[in-house]
Amino acid sequence: MALRNIVKEGDSVLRKKCRPVVKFDDRLAGILDDMRDTMYQAQGVGLAAPQVGILRRMVVIDCSMDKTEYIELINPEIIATEGEQEGTEGCLSVPGVVGWVKRPMKVTVRAQDRFGEFFEVTGEELLARAFCHELAHLDGELFIDVMEYEVEPEDEEDEE
């Protein structure tokens, strides 16, 4: 597979609304594989298609430290949320910026897999945060649009 270039803030592609995926084929599988490899190479926990210049509704996520909880979401939509959490977020497309963001504590997403089959998945804490963060990319939104304030690196270390 190939590593893709990650689009940075300022590129208009990050502010566009993505179109649904309608063709589930080998080309789609290749793009998803590239996105996964790119996310892991960049040491991210998620990557949305517009972050690699593709205006389609698909994201890849893996919040685990050992890369064992990989999830692909195609045409995802949030169907339920519960609770609230606050914490820091960063983004591969906004390097060097960390912000304080409120997100739901628990999020359920309905999506399709790479073969077009529908499924639902529920995530809590970091995974819930990743669902919200990555799905927002599909509508042209960045975490900096909803962050309450920017967190300086030394402030982030104090929280740990």
CA separation for the pair 109, 78 (Å, rounded): 4
pLDDT digits (tens, 9 = 90+) for 64-107: 988 889 999 999 999 999 999 999 999 999 999 999 999 999 99
Query: Which one from 125, 134, 157, 159 is the annotated catalytic residue?
Result: 134
Domain 12-159 sits in CATH at 3.90.45.10
Q: C-alpha angle 83/40/60, rounded to 5°?
A: 50
Residue given tokens 């960045």 in the structure block: 142
* 144: pLDDT strictly greater than 80: yes
Confidence of residue 40 (pLDDT cuts 50, 70, 90): very high
* 46: pLDDT strictly greater than 90: yes
Q: What is the DSSP letter of 5?
A: P
Domain positions in the chain are 12-159
Q: Is 159 annotated as catalytic?
A: no
The whole-model pTM stands at 0.93
